[in-house]
Amino acid sequence: MAMTDGEVLSDSFSPRRLLSSQTVYKGRIWDVAQEEFEYAPGMDPLVRDFIKHPGAVAVVVLNDADEVLMINQYRHPVGMKLWEIPAGLMDIEGEPPHVGAARELAEEADLIASDWSVLVDLFLSPGSSSEAIRIYLARHPVPVPEDQRHERTDEESDMEVRWVPLDEAVDAVLAGRIHNPSAVAGLLAAVAARSKNYASLRAVDTPFDAHPLLRSAEPRL
């Protein structure tokens, strides 16, 4: 069906009546939930298992030379070292997403940025996970003072950091050399935003209403 004149292309909230919810696996970082819900009147209830995820934030950092900050990190589930953008979990209760993004940028890349905007929002795997991620654009970065820098451990302890021309990074995405989803989405969105001189971007504190844990309460049994 074709869109009508003036109709805006947009995802929409579509809550269903929840009949039951239980945690079937308790993990170190995220859990697996099983929920039964009423899809439509007259239909038998549906049951779905999914990863219950706190959500995440990520940052595309651009310097004044139109270079993007890329970090190289080992990811055990895929057995690869991936080129990514700074990112982290929304795992501090009550912390606004943009504050978490600034914290992750300082911790992972030893940088502070003075110009922030919302770049793009996405669900990473909406058929199997509640993970929602907001990606920010941060410009005009400066180093964190050395005495205030975060000590990185585990997979972050040997991360390589590299400044790459934005167009070169996008070429790597389109050539299939970069696979991290937040990097792919963020880099492509940054180029699209640049084509409009970044005028179309949302304010850094725009509410993240699509995030399942930040939206208004849904109908419950």
Q: What are 51-109's pLDDT values in tens digits?
A: 999 999 999 999 999 999 999 999 999 999 999 999 999 989 899 999 999 999 999 89
Token pair 């993007």 is at which residue? 68
Please check whether residues 76 and 180 belong to one and the same domain.
Answer: yes
219 pLDDT exceeds 60? no
157 pLDDT exceeds 70? no
pLDDT of residue 3: 66
- For residue 60, the cross-strand partners are 137
pLDDT of residue 10: 94
51: number of CA atoms within 13 Å, CB side? 16
Residue 80 lies in domain: 56-203
Catalytic status, residue 156: yes
pLDDT of residue 220: 45
- For residue 21, the cross-strand partners are 35
Position 178 in a domain? yes
Buried b (16+ CB within 10 A) or exposed e, 19-39: eeeeeeeeeeebebbebebbe
Q: Among positive and negative, which fits the CA dihedral 96, 140, 146, 136?
A: positive
pLDDT of residue 151: 74
Position 8 in a domain? no
Average pLDDT over residues 205-212: 94
pTM, two decimals, is: 0.91
Position 173 in a domain? yes
Please check whether residues 46 and 74 belong to one and the same domain.
Answer: no
Token pair 């057995």 is at which residue? 79
pLDDT, one tens digit per residue, over 25-43 is 999 888 999 999 999 999 9
Please check whether residues 24 and 106 belong to one and the same domain.
Answer: no
Q: Which of 35, 104, 156, 218 is catalytic?
A: 156
Q: What dihedral angle (degrees, nearest 10) is formed by the CA atoms of 68, 155, 123, 204?
A: -50
Position 220 in a domain? no
Residue 153 token pair: 């451990």
CA nearest 115: which of 203, 186, 184, 208?
203
pLDDT of residue 217: 46
The answer to whether the beta carbons of residues 211 and 55 sit under 8 Å apart is: yes
pLDDT of residue 145: 80
The answer to whether the beta carbons of residues 90 and 57 sit under 8 Å apart is: yes
Please check whether residues 184 and 88 belong to one and the same domain.
Answer: yes
The answer to whether the beta carbons of residues 106 and 112 sit under 8 Å apart is: yes
pLDDT of residue 29: 86
The answer to whether the beta carbons of residues 44 and 52 sit under 8 Å apart is: no
Please check whether residues 36 and 113 belong to one and the same domain.
Answer: no
Please check whether residues 45 and 115 belong to one and the same domain.
Answer: no
Which helix (H) or strand (E) segment holds residue 199: the answer is none
Please check whether residues 112 and 177 belong to one and the same domain.
Answer: yes
pLDDT of residue 104: 93
Instruction: Specify the pairing of strand 87-89 against strand 56-62.
Output: antiparallel
218 pLDDT exceeds 50? no
Position 152 in a domain? yes
Please check whether residues 150 and 177 belong to one and the same domain.
Answer: yes
Q: Which 3 state secondary structure label does DSSP give 166? A: helix
Amino acid at 20: S
Please, what is the end-to-end C-alpha distance for the chain in angstroms?
Answer: 35
pLDDT of residue 147: 74
> From the centroid of its chain, how far is CA 214?
14
User: Looking at the 3D structure of the chain, how many domains does it have?
Assistant: 2
The answer to whether the beta carbons of residues 178 and 169 sit under 8 Å apart is: yes
Rounded Cα distance between 32 and 20, Å, is: 14
pLDDT, one tens digit per residue, over 110-156 is 999 999 999 999 999 999 999 999 999 999 999 988 777 767 666 66
